[in-house]
Amino acid sequence: MSEQKVALITGGGGGIGAAMARAVAARGVRIAVTDIDGAAAGRVAAEINERHGAGSAVAFPHDVSVEADCTRAVAETIAAFGSLDILFNNAGISVSTFRPDAETNLPSIAEVTPELMTRFFSINYMGAVHMIRAAVPAMVESGWGRVVNNTTSFITMLRVLPYGPLKAALEASSAVWAQELDGTGVTVNVLVPGGPTDTAFISDGAGIPRAKMLKPEVMGPPAAWLASPESDGITGKRYIAGFWDTALPELDAAKEAGAPIGWPDLATATRLWPGQEPGKGPGMGL
């Protein structure tokens, strides 16, 4: 494995993905920017190369809903840089893609057709699954790796169909993967902005004042820390970027902004599980 770490960021052609790519590259990590919009990915990679030197970044066009594209993204990253150590699962689509005001005028049961649900499922959930399946085996073999999944806020999970429930599925899966990979040197964590973010992901038609939104750059400092050796051994956590205090040492900022993945404190009925002590059981991270 090459000495310099390598990160692949899906949906890296703009918004949150581009902000994370810039911040992680500034940490000395080489970056593979992948996006369904190959030209946008190329612009971000070109910016990183101009700032940090030729060969700091490459760009590929990939569709995360297609398993073969995800396998190819990993293979092309390894071909370009010699390894893949860090995976940011950021690619996704929002409800603004089918109705501009859907972030605030919430979609109904009738509106979320099976076809629409399948589209969101294939991108917002299976995209991460495909990427993890393609990327993680080599990380485990090398004994070091990072998986960082962008889910969403709890309130969105409970309010916004079909986006929220599918991000809840990715949140739960992240907890499962963290447990499965514990002890391998590969960590799994969640990183979210913490609220509406000023990117094209949210349409102007949503009616949310952009001046009140979080800026995508808030994702940069925690993403850079999660990609670094300084976060070794930290797994099964979710970090809210909006709570990350850059005035603090990184580990202190992480403690302030972090909590266990999936709100295990909500699992109050675990005493009903056979063989479990009160307060312990599935969902409690124990």
Query: Which of 5, 125, 167, 239 is flagged as catalytic?
Result: 167
Nearest Cα neighbor of 212 from 88, 91, 104 is: 104
Beta bridge partners of 189: 148
Radius of gyration of the chain (CA): 18
Query: Which of 5, 125, 163, 237 is flagged as catalytic?
Result: 163
Cα-to-chain-centroid distance, residue 236: 13
Is-catalytic flag, 239?
Answer: no
Name the token pair of 207: 């009616």
Decide: helix, strand or coil at residue 113.
coil
Residue 2 CB neighbour total at 10 angstroms: 11
> Per-residue b/e over 190-216, b at no fewer than 16 CB within 10 Å?
bbbbbbbbbbebbbeebebeeeebbbb
Is-catalytic flag, 167?
Answer: yes
Active site residues: 163, 167
